[in-house]
């Protein structure tokens, strides 16, 4: 799915985070560009959401267990993404610039 530079995957990852935190779209895009672990977290969220959306394709005897597993993963990742976004936004509003020495 990802191209050589990973743009489709990066786009779906950013979209997953923005859907959950639309007020922080600019912050999310900045973090996606600057923070590899945040980008990977968002990629995981997009993949988990995709898996959850396709749970009805799983064999009936495994379906409910997978639904619970993937929903828990989505919920955990939403919390982690939100914490990073809010921390970054709070730092930005406070005027913190990690590249500067005070």
- Convert the pLDDT of each residue in 45-99 to its tens digit: 999 999 999 999 999 999 999 999 999 999 999 999 999 999 998 877 776 554 4
For residue 71, being part of any structural domain is answered with yes
| Share in percent of the chain as helix, strand, coil (round to 5) | 80, 0, 20
State which residues form the domain around 85. 7-93
Q: What is the mean pLDDT of residues 18-40?
A: 95
The pLDDT of residue 97 = 55
Is 52 part of any domain? yes
Residue 35 lies in a domain: yes
Count Cβ atoms below 10 Å from residue 10 Cβ, excluding itself. 19
- Mean pLDDT of the 26-43 span: 96
């Amino acid at each position: 799915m990802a191209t050589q530079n990973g743009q489709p995957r990066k786009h779906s990852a950013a979209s997953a985070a923005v859907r959950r935190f639309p007020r922080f779209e600019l912050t999310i895009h900045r973090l996606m560009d600057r923070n590899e672990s945040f980008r990977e977290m968002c990629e995981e969220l997009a993949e988990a959401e995709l898996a959850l959306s396709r749970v009805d394709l799983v064999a009936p005897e495994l379906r409910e267990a997978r639904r619970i597993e993937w929903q828990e993963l989505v919920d955990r990742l939403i919390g982690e993404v939100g914490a990073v976004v809010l921390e970054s936004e709070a730092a930005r509003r406070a005027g913190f610039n990690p590249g500067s020495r005070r």
